[in-house]
Structure 1
Amino acid sequence: MQTASGLSWSLSRLTADALEASVDDLGTLLHACVLAGASVGFVLPFPPEAAAAFWRTKVLPGVARGGTVLLVAREAGRLVGTVQLDADTPANQPHRAEVRKLLVHPDARRRGLARTLMAAIEAEARALGRSLLTLDTRTGDAAEPLYASMGYSTAGVIPGYCLDVDRTHLDATTVMYKGI
């Protein structure tokens, strides 16, 4: 149990069965984050069914194979955050993993949960024998200084990398890495 500002949350690693049982909650979280402008691979309109389908079709197979670690945070039983570690790397990269989809519900932000999830996923990576983590984030997002404050270095910026959530312009992405 982690605490911040008098509030508490519990972190857990989901198995494939637990992920299947939590698809609706995970979909609700993803949907809320995208509606709040998160650049995590989706554009508006983004129906709740598409959010749930993402977890079933894109994340569940990796968790079932053991190549993806999925952590979730719950506060008073409600799923308020998640992060993934993709450790399904090629044979010449057994030391590396990619951090994906750090999501914190909009009404649970600014209380240290993202930092807690990142520290926990780094611990999972170390337990798997990984010594290098990579990630990317929309350039200028609030997550970028968070990652930098946790020791991630910028490898570079790719301009025009993706559409923004509203499909009005292209956003750059910042690629970051950290030795752990």
Structure 2
Amino acid sequence: MTAVSRLSAAEVLAQADELAGLLADTVDGGASVGFLAPLDRASAVAWWEGRAAEVAAGHLAVWVAHSADRMLGTVGLAFPDKPNSRHRAELVKLMVHPDGRGRGLGRTLLTTAELAAAATGVTLLHLDTETDSPAETLYLSAGWTRLGAIPDYATTPSGVLRPTTVFYKRVGAATAAAT
């Protein structure tokens, strides 16, 4: 059984090593989440430790999915700090460990973030993901709208330039108003 829970800043710090392992394994498994492979553990730990301040400040929310014995996935919501953008958030770092893929865990994490965003008054979510990646299929099947692609936006973990696709989704009150 897999449980999903939201992490506090202290929990991000306490679980930084396990989060780093998930990040490194995801990158080494080919996921384009902003890092090059191979991702060394120390750099991954440092990256996660840096996120704790963002969580503490309320600019980032992080959820993790755990099985009985290991962390299998994570997702985050990044909240803007400008007054005119408090109605939106960016979905970031949706990662599922290669051993956890194909079980609906990505969908569970995505739904968790969408519901949490709506519960905080967010009405618009956006994200970008590598074009033609399995993540694109997930977002489309979950009702996200494809806005377009940006060529040569980021590199794959192996260093190849690839386009990214930008998506958005209305949630909460915006979803109800649109129907």
- TM-score (ref. length: structure 2): 0.93
Partner in structure 2 of residue 115 of structure 1: 107
- Over the aligned positions, Cα root-mean-square deviation in angstroms equals 0.9
Give 1:3's aligned residue. Answer: none
153, 165, 170: which one pairs with 1:174?
A: 165
Contact 1:89–1:96, Cα closer than 8 Å, also in 2: no
1:18 is the counterpart of 2:46 = no
Q: Which residue of 1 aligns with 2:120?
A: 128
Find the aligned partners of 2:143 and 2:84 in 1 and give their Cα distance: 25
Q: Which secondary structure does the structure 2 equivalent of 1:116 belong to?
A: helix
Moved more, 103-112 or 42-51: 42-51
Provide the identity percentage: 44
* Higher share of residues assigned helix: 2
Structure 1 runs (4+) greater than 2 angstroms displaced: none
Residue identity in the other structure for 1:67: H
- Which amino acid is 1:166 matched to? S
Instruction: Name the structure 2 match of 1:41.
Output: 34
Instruction: Report the equivalent of 2:46.
Output: 53
Structure 1 length-normalised TM: 0.92
Shift of 1:66: 1.2
Aligned residue pairs, count: 171
Shift of 1:93: 1.1
Q: Deviations over 1:56-75 (max 9, x none)?
A: 12x21110101211000100
What is aligned with 2:2? 9
Structure 1 gaps of 5+ residues are: 1-7
Runs of 5+ unmatched residues, structure 2: 172-179
Match of 2:87 among 77, 90, 95: 95
Q: Any idea what the Cα deviations from partners look like across 1:130-165, whole Å, max 9, x if unmatched?
A: 000000000000010110111101111000001221
SS in 2 for 1:12: strand
Q: Which amino acid aligns with 1:172?
A: P
Q: Is the 8 A contact 2:27 2:38 kept in 1?
A: no
Q: C-alpha separation between the residues in 2 aligned to 1:138 and 1:129?
A: 28
Amino acid at match of 1:175: V
Structure 1 residue identity aligned to 2:100: A
Taking the aligned partners of 2:11 and 2:69, their CA distance within structure 1 comes to: 14
SS at 1:155 equivalent:
strand
Contact in 2 for aligned 1:162/1:170 (Cα 8 Å)? yes
Q: Name the SS of the counterpart of 2:36 in structure 1.
A: coil
Partner of 1:152: 144
